[in-house]
Amino acid sequence: MVRQRAGDRCEYCRMPQYAIPDVLFHVEHVFAIQHGGDDNPENLALACDRCNCYKGPNLSAIDPDSKNVVRLFDPRRDHWHGHFGQTNYELIGLTETGRATVRLLQMNAARRVQLRIALRLDLTVD
């Protein structure tokens, strides 16, 4: 159900599963169990291995521009296009939440940008 709802792509960086066929994407807790989260489908998201690893149990991060501590992007309550855009295959945070999430999840790591370029992925298209 989580995979289908996500359209078989990471709900954080929007990388499609077909782009990384050797690593099955994870069903992750938006709010970790240790922070009071549960297994309710409204607390579950599909995440690529990188986003899941870097997000871990974090609920917040520091916006690199404002230096404010802000909450991370929540795929269950936030609209992706309201927080992120894409320029030249790099994901751009449009808000404090977007910028903090891009930075913490290392969404523009060199190999991910190279993969987007090789596959000509426009992640802003629904």
Q: What is the pTM of this model?
A: 0.94
Give the start-to-end residue ranges of the domains of the chain: 2-119
Classify burial at 99, counting beta carbons within 10 Å of its beta carbon; exposed 0-12, middle 13-18, buried 19 or more.
Answer: buried
pLDDT on residue 48 = 97
pLDDT digits over 4-58, tens only? 999 999 999 999 999 999 999 999 999 999 999 999 999 999 999 999 999 999 9
Number of Cβ within a 10 Å radius of residue 29? 20
In which residue are the tokens 């521009």 written?
65
The pair of three-digit structure tokens given for residue 99, joined into one six-digit string: 């910028």
